[in-house]
Amino acid sequence: MSTQTQVATRPLAGSAAKTGLAAAVTLGAVVLALLTLYAVFLDQGQLLSPVMGKVAVVANYLHEFAHDGRHLLGAPCH
């Protein structure tokens, strides 16, 4: 007597959608993290200049907002 077991080779219908959603969320999180790191460590007014004009470079709002955090994390800013 021979017993055979069939294994389904077709992936589940929702797994591809879940994988795509997870990849999109991960990519979004990475882009947001990189933008945040740029704003905290490197921005010297360029990020807000399209909205605020030259005053963003002169006043340097993001730099001043994150100034103490830069020093706390050991990032030079002067």
Q: Is residue 23 part of a domain?
A: no
Q: Is residue 7 part of a domain?
A: no
Q: Is residue 1 part of a domain?
A: no
Alpha carbon distance 38, 17 (integer Å): 32
- Nearest alpha-carbon partner for 34 in 23, 24, 42: 42
Q: Is residue 68 part of a domain?
A: yes
Q: Is residue 77 part of a domain?
A: yes
Q: Is residue 63 part of a domain?
A: yes
Please give the tally of structural domains in the chain.
1
Reported as a single tens digit per residue, the pLDDT across 2-16 is 667 666 566 555 677
Q: Is residue 47 part of a domain?
A: yes
Among 12-26, 31-45, 51-65, which is the least confidently predicted range? 51-65
pTM of the model: 0.54
H or E element at residue 6: none
- Its domain, for residue 57, covers 37-78
Torsion of CA 20, 21, 26, 29, to 10 degrees: 140
Reply yes or no on whether the pLDDT at 72 is more than 90: no
Q: Is residue 17 part of a domain?
A: no
